[in-house]
Amino acid sequence: MDELLDGSDVIETVRITAKTIVECVPYPLGMGFEGEVLSLNQKAKNILGNYSLSSLPRGVGQDTKSFYLRVGHEKTVFVQLIPLPKKHFLLILEEFTEEATRDNLTGLLSRHHLNLVGSRMLEHADKTGKVAIFFMDLDGFKEVNDTFGHESGDLVLKGVAERLLRSLRNTDLCFRWGGDEFLIISPGFREKVHAGLLARRIIKAISEPFSAKGHIVKVGVSVGIAVYPDDGEDLFDLIRKADSAMYQAKQHGGNMYMYHSKTE
């Protein structure tokens, strides 16, 4: 669960003052494991000057950590620390709004984060590793809405989000793309075929029955996979290719995964 912290707690945790965080929103900062600045937007650098985070929580390079920083009575900043290869991590700072930061229904990251976070994850991908993009669309979800109503459908979407998060590693990021579509960015694969293992785990988790307002309902999920750098190096091109592969999975009966094919 994300924590809501006040300014003094954040100073102790990441050694940046509340004023600095607010002034740097929404610039992502690349940090080294020891806290040195690796890359910084020039405007943010002008604000910050030369500094380092001299004291970081143990394990910050291994787990994704996020919390909210309350600044005064009206402003809240969302702070997220995301691990990257080679003991680096990414520090994301942005002003918090429900609509921009999190999907209201599921609590997953919203599409607003994609350009900010996803491209940075590709840029920092280990040379010997790969980043998999999973594009997912539920099978049979329209029938759930038509038969049991939208309230039941919303409960199923919440349940799907919870199962997706339980299926992922700490380094994976999960977004709600919209409707009954979801997106996952998963770094650190040595071989492209290994992404299929995660896809199988996701399909198995989603295929288990859901309980919604006294009804037992079942949905499936079609998954398309595109992999950086094998299938391309641009984030949104990779998403398009994963989306296309997902439709191929649906055309083959659904509740399965397919990789992007260069013949598409």
Catalytic (active-site) positions? 180
Contacts of 127 (CB under 8 A, 6+ apart): none
Q: Where are the alpha helices (DSSP H) in 1-48?
A: 7-14, 18-24, 42-48
Listed residue (60, 64, 17) closest to 6, CA to CA: 17
Q: Which two tokens stand for residue 236?
A: 């949104």
Determine contact, residues 223/199, Cβ cutoff 8 Å.
yes
Rg of the chain taking only CA atoms, in angstroms: 19
SS3 call for 251: helix
